[in-house]
Amino acid sequence: MNANASGALRLYLIRHGETEWSLTGRHTGRTDIPLTRNGEDEARALGRRLPDIPFSHVLSSPLKRALRTCELAGLDTIPEIEPDLAEWDYGDYEGLRSLDIRKARPDWDVYRDGCPGGEMPAQISARADRLIARLLKLDGNVALFSHGQLGCVLAMRWIGLAANEAQHFTLGTASFSVFAFDPHHAGVPVIALWNARSA
């Protein structure tokens, strides 16, 4: 961490609302599926928790489930598309559930093993680091509309842990988390809030 150690930067990581695949536990990387009706309701409810936050920047994954969540949350700013906020590329495992993958690979863990034909942990970690380096050049409250597993990796890299430690974290749909700096220890990145839900 460097550029914004003053504490002026606060990142609001917002996971998209429910989709059919998130509801059934199917890994949804680059497949561009919409929110369910419940997911749209979740996004609107999330917006009621965010309206008093003055965002200096709003960034979103290019995938429509993230963009629609941003729209329904009611932020006044048109989001900047940030490709590095896209979900993990699951490659050959796209659309599969973890329990299906583990029939062939009983010990498989995405954060440790990655996905054949998709991204490996070193790649997702490098992507998160590249994104953090850009975010550190910003000031104020920054909204990041993104996804579950990418979000967990981003949190780990924010506090300097390896991407595989993300296996101990989870993000619910239409949740938000806050990454900031410890006000009592300048330059120390912290997770100030994790997985807050609107309901």
Residues with a known catalytic role: 16, 87
CB atoms closer than 10 angstroms to residue 27 = 24
Q: What is the dihedral of CA 61, 62, 66, 68, to 10 degrees?
A: 150
Q: Which residues pair with 140 in a beta bridge?
A: 9
Instruction: Compute the 3-state secondary structure of the chain and give helix, strand, coil in percent, each to the nearest 5.
Output: 40, 20, 40
Angle at 65 between CA 62 and CA 67, to 5 degrees: 50
Which tokens belong to 126? 């490098």
Residue 199 corresponds to which amino acid? A
